[in-house]
Amino acid sequence: MTVRQPDSALSADAARPSRREQILRAAAQLFAERGSRAVGVDDVGAAVGVTGPAIYRHFASKDAMLAEMLEGISQRLLAGARERVAAAGLDPAAQLRALVTFQVDFALDNPALITVQDRDLGSLPTDDAAAVRRLQRRYVEVWVDVLARLRPEEGTDASRARAHAVFGLVNSTPHSAGRLPREQMAALLAAMAEAAATA
């Protein structure tokens, strides 16, 4: 009954690269491929060389696993975005470039997480879903602030729609997987995203 919760859900937990992290990674992969509801606890276990119920030594429930996964993604995105903006100085154009390259890199590095994030948020207990949505909203706001300063004549509603559209564009990566070398793909997506953001 001793389910260890991470000291802080955000810590990448470099100290213990084992099992728990292993499970989360394998689960993310499987969830991305088939959808969280279609993969059983046994599947996740098998993916790390363990039987199904063993999962419960590391997570309170399947939902808790998904919750931690989605919260982790949202937290990494929010923290990363703020960091990049802060490091980009005061020019909104430079900040936008920083945000775009950050999002592109994240999407190319974590296609599975990107897929799961916007497909399986719905199959989460309401409370956890709300928490994730709060984080997502704050991430969007980072973008909205930059976009709004870049085009002050536009309302924030338009800026928000613009932000979502850019996310959709960049997060299309999992659909056009691997046909282009990563460098080229990154450059293409960044150029398109910037053009769309400033059109």
Partner DNA sequence: CACCGATGTTAACGACGGTTCACATCGCGG
Partner DNA sequence: CCGCGATGTGAACCGTCGTTAACATCGGTG
- Which residues of this protein are in contact with DNA, per CB under 7 A? 2, 4, 19, 37-42, 45, 50-54, 56-58, 61-63
User: Using CB under 8 A as the criterion, what x/- string covers residues 19-48 for binding a copy of itself?
Assistant: --------------xxx-xx----------
CA distance 23 to 151: 44
Report whether 23 contacts 48 (CB < 8 A).
yes
Range in contact with a copy of itself (rule: CB under 8 A) among 7-15, 44-52, 73-81, 113-121 = 113-121
Encode burial over 11-45: b for 16+ CB neighbours within 10 A, e otherwise.
eebeeeeeebebbbbbbbbbbbeeebeebebeebb
The Cβ-side half-sphere exposure at 90, using a 13 Å CA radius, reads 0
Report whether 103 contacts 193 (CB < 8 A).
yes
Q: Which does 5 bind (CB under 5 to 8 A by kind): DNA, a copy of itself, none?
A: none
Q: Which does 149 bind (CB under 5 to 8 A by kind): a copy of itself, DNA, none?
A: none
Task: Name the residue nearer to a copy of itself (CB basis): 90 or 199.
Answer: 199
Instruction: Note whether 171 binds a copy of itself by CB under 8 A.
Output: yes
User: For residue 88, what are its two tokens?
Assistant: 């980009």
CA proximity to 117, closest of 139, 101, 86: 139
Residue 168: how many other CB atoms lie within 10 Å: 11
User: For residue 139, what are its two tokens?
Assistant: 């991430």
Task: Name the residue nearer to a copy of itself (CB basis): 30 or 50.
Answer: 30
Q: Of 119, 138, 149, 151, which lies in the binding site for a copy of itself, with binding defined by CB under 8 A?
A: 119
Smallest distance from the beta carbon of 38 to DNA, in angstroms? 7
* Distances from the Cα of 12 to the Cα of 15, 60, 76, 110, 157, angstroms: 9, 19, 9, 15, 34
Q: Which does 52 bind (CB under 5 to 8 A by kind): a copy of itself, DNA, none?
A: DNA
Smallest distance from the beta carbon of 145 to DNA, in angstroms? 39
Residues 32, 173, 146, 79, CA torsion sign: positive
Range in contact with a copy of itself (rule: CB under 8 A) among 13-21, 55-63, 95-103, 115-123 = 115-123
Instruction: Note whether 61 binds a copy of itself by CB under 8 A.
Output: no
Which residues are at the interface with a copy of itself (CB under 8 A)? 33-35, 37-38, 118-120, 122-123, 157-158, 160-162, 164-172, 175-176, 179-180, 184-185, 188-189, 191-199
